Chains A and B, each alone.
Chain A
Amino acid sequence: GESVGLHLPTLSVQEGDNSIINCAYSNSASDYFIWYKQESGKGPQFIIDIRSNMDKRQGQRVTVLLNKTVKHLSLQIAATQPGDSAVYFCAEKIGYGQNFVFGPGTRLSVLP
């Protein structure tokens, strides 16, 4: 069945380095993808999104890349900061009406 998953469950990076969090999806009909950040004790927070007619989208310090050929999504965080430490989820939307499927999450730890 359809699924959204993450290659790395945990990721540790040095402060100032760039982070890359990966996500695989299986439904080629998915047309919309979102990355969320969840800090401890809080609800998920929208970071950036991308539609299937795009390959790349940039935000402030974050970039999302979409490779539809291999059904792969990645989130790049530039100059990672301690405040970036959190769990990051990718999610895909399947069909009209927001029936989102979320991945299990990757924990990002920023080392001093």
Chain B
Amino acid sequence: EAQVTQNPRYLITVTGKKLTVTCSQNMNHEYMSWYRQDPGLGLRQIYYSMNVEVTDKGDVPEGYKVSRKEKRNFPLILESPSPNQTSLYFCASSLWPNEETQYFGPGTRLLVL
């Protein structure tokens, strides 16, 4: 089954404790992206990657890091989480940057205390 998976689905952590949210897709997609979703603000892009070792900032990259060492994986790293990073995070992938259909993962709900 074609899918985007994220882990963990739910995470509670404390300020300053490094964490990683994993994202994996099994569709051999070139393009992957991370979004955060907050009430009233919709989805905002954090980082995206157009291929292995190629990443770029989205609209809200501050406080986040990503890496793309393999085509299928695109982890999101919070080196020193802060309460304003409490949010719902989605990973997405598509075949090519201009390919219309982005497949979204199920989401990771993060609470930073």
| Chain A residues near B (Cβ < 8 Å) | 4, 32, 34, 41-46, 49, 89, 91, 93, 96-105
Our pick among A43, A101, A102, A103 for the contact of B105 (Cβ within 8 Å) is A43
Tell me the smallest distance from the CB of B63 to a CB of chain A, in Å.
Answer: 19
Give the distance in Å from the alpha carbon of A58 to the alpha carbon of B43 in the complex.
25
**Residues A97 and B56 in contact in the complex (CB < 8 Å), given A42-B107, A45-B104:** yes
**Residues A98 and B106 in contact in the complex (CB < 8 Å), given A46-B100, A89-B43:** no
In the complex, what residues of B have CB within 8 A of residue A4's CB? 42
Tell me the smallest distance from the CB of A95 to a CB of chain B, in Å.
Answer: 10
B98 at the interface (CB under 8 A from A): yes
Within 8 A of A (CB), among B69-108: 90, 92, 94, 97-98, 100-107
In the complex, what residues of A have CB within 8 A of residue B94's CB? 98
- Asked if residues A44 and B41 are in contact (CB atoms below 8 Å), the reply is no
Digit string of B31-75 for contact with A (CB within 8 Å is 1, else 0)? 101010000111111001010000010110000000000000000
- Asked if residues A96 and B98 are in contact (CB atoms below 8 Å), the reply is yes
- Asked if residues A46 and B90 are in contact (CB atoms below 8 Å), the reply is no
**Residues A46 and B98 in contact in the complex (CB < 8 Å), given A99-B48, A103-B42, A104-B41:** no
Give the distance in Å from the alpha carbon of A97 to the alpha carbon of B31 in the complex.
9
In the complex, what residues of A have CB within 8 A of residue B92's CB? 43
- Asked if residues A105 and B42 are in contact (CB atoms below 8 Å), the reply is yes
- Asked if residues B104 and A44 are in contact (CB atoms below 8 Å), the reply is yes
- Asked if residues B40 and A98 are in contact (CB atoms below 8 Å), the reply is no
Give the distance in Å from the alpha carbon of A46 to the alpha carbon of B94 in the complex.
12
In the complex, what residues of A have CB within 8 A of residue B107's CB? 41-43
Our pick among A46, A97, A104 for the contact of B40 (Cβ within 8 Å) is A104
- Asked if residues B102 and A46 are in contact (CB atoms below 8 Å), the reply is yes
- Asked if residues A89 and B42 are in contact (CB atoms below 8 Å), the reply is yes
- Asked if residues B102 and A104 are in contact (CB atoms below 8 Å), the reply is no
In the complex, what residues of A have CB within 8 A of residue B103's CB? 46
Give the distance in Å from the alpha carbon of A46 to the alpha carbon of B100 in the complex.
9
